[in-house]
Amino acid sequence: MVATVATAAYLAIGNELLVGRTQEKNLQVLTKFLNPRGIRLVEARLISDRSREIRSAARTLSRRADVLFTSGGIGPTHDDITTAAVAAEFGCPLEISEEHFERMSKYYKERGESMTAPRLKMVRLPRGAEPIANPLTIAPGFRIDNVYVLAGVPQVFEAMLQTLALKIAGGSARLSETLYTILHESRFAEALQGIQERHPESEIGSYPRMQGERWKNAIVVSDTDALRLGAVVKDLRAMLKSLKS
């Protein structure tokens, strides 16, 4: 079944993200998945490994967008509580996934080891959830309702997303073009606003950066329609030319 969606939200779960120990990297991976599909990310949240917070954020964000992707907290240790929290929020008991139990038992049996409680934890999914396999680990992510619960380790997060590649469709991808200028934003802000008002369907943003002591501005325009985009770029070029002269 292919889900056709317009908007997505993202929830990154883990204390390590909020103390600055680990830099959140999955957001960039997710946008690379969403953008070409024309799916708009409406919000991203980073929260800690607390059940109440996970439940509340999962519920809120699953309502705020067509789909919600989460990352983190589905491993075997005591601080991995995402699966249990999401299951509780959606009122589903946890059940062993027979298919993944078999695969994991076999893996460990071949190594002379057995299925311990932490390993069982990784193959326990909310009842009714659809497992999300991946080529890197036996432990699956899962989808329940419109919530996709993925691993936090970036390589595994990305591998799980790829598993979903044919299952999630969007709309028209946004095209974008960027013009750079060293003019201060305050020099072109009024003209830029005029252009935005003449092209309300395009989205125009101005993003200053400091490089050493110098400012450099990126003016970014995006639109799903190439003709409209071209018209805005033409106006932007004319604006920058007139300001420089």
Chain contacts with a second copy (rule: CB under 8 A): 14-24, 27-28, 30-32, 35, 40-49, 53, 75-79, 116-119, 121-122, 136, 153-156, 174, 176, 185-186, 189-190, 192-193, 196, 203-210, 220, 222
Q: Which is nearer to a second copy, 148 or 188 (CB)?
A: 188
Task: State the minimum distance, in angstroms, from the CB of residue 169 to a second copy.
Answer: 19
Q: Token pair for residue 130? A: 């659809």
**Min CB(137)–a second copy separation in Å:** 9
Q: Which is nearer to a second copy, 48 or 146 (CB)?
A: 48
Please name the helix (run of DSSP H) or strand (run of DSSP E) that holds residue 218, with its range, or none: strand 214-223
Residue 53 or 128: the one with the smaller Cβ distance to a second copy is: 53
C-beta of 143: minimal distance to a second copy in Å?
A: 22
Query: d(Cα 238, Cα 245) in Å, to the nearest integer?
Result: 11
Query: For tokens 């991976």, what's the residue?
Result: 29
Smallest distance, Å, CB 144 to a second copy?
Answer: 23
The residues, ordered by sequence, that sit 6+ positions from 4 with a Cβ below 8 Å of its Cβ are: 169, 170, 171
Closest C-alpha to 154, from 72, 74, 73: 72
Kindly tell me which of 103 and 128 has the beta carbon lying closer to a second copy.
103
The angle at the Cα of 169, spanning 178 to 100, to the nearest 5 degrees, equals 120
